Structure 1
Amino acid sequence: MRIRKYEVEHAMILTILSALAERTRLQAIQILGDGEEHCVCELMERLEVSQSRMSRHMKVLKEAGLVIGRRDAQWVRYRSNPALAPEYRAVVQAVLAVEHADEMQFA
């Protein structure tokens, strides 16, 4: 039974890392880190990507369990998933910390 739980946790961590391996998705997670809802229209403007590209990226983040979405008229509003387990939230924070350190190093 312990092995099965480890396999599930390992698979979830790999899914999270894969979702965060693309710069636009990582930047979207940084924006959503404020705990507020953000419209796809806002994210696409801030990240300078098309609506279709932003929607595809948000789909990956949603499938990884990192964000949740709510339809608001023609747009979807996203926010960080408050139900994400603390151990997985720690993985996200570690990736964000490494990204921030890399930005500081090259600034």
Structure 2
Amino acid sequence: MQAILTAILDPTRRAALAILWRGGEHCVCELMARLDATQSRMSRHMKVMRDAGLVLDRRDAQWVRYRRNPHLAPELAAVIDAVLAAEDRSERKVA
């Protein structure tokens, strides 16, 4: 659980997780562009989330593609859902 909490602590990782949580597979290049992050920074963030078991990766030529881990325990997925929903509500209040 500590690794998951550490993984979702960072705002960039939460933003990447929100993209992946909506479904599909996304390459690092897409996440970099959408989150205005360098390749090395994005790769480090994704490693933290992969090591925590939140995402799975797959090499595709020169890129690595990430997706939500479908085998994540339901109670942990519920924690991620709640964190992302709370952040989404908070952002809508600010906007």
TM-score, length basis structure 2: 0.95
Candidates 58, 70, 80, aligned match of 2:68: 80
Structure 1 residue runs without a partner (length 5+): 1-11
Larger radius of gyration: 1
Structure 2 residue runs without a partner (length 5+): none
TM-score, length basis structure 1: 0.85
Candidates 39, 46, 58, aligned match of 1:70: 58
Could you say which residue in structure 2 is the equivalent of 1:50? 38
Q: CA deviation at 1:37?
A: 0.6
Once residues 105 and 99 of structure 1 are traced to their aligned partners in structure 2, the CA distance between those partners, rounded to angstroms, is 10
RMSD: 0.8
Identity of aligned pairs, percent? 62
Aligned residue pair count? 95
Once residues 32 and 77 of structure 1 are traced to their aligned partners in structure 2, the CA distance between those partners, rounded to angstroms, is 10
Structure 1 stretches of 4+ moved >6 Å? none
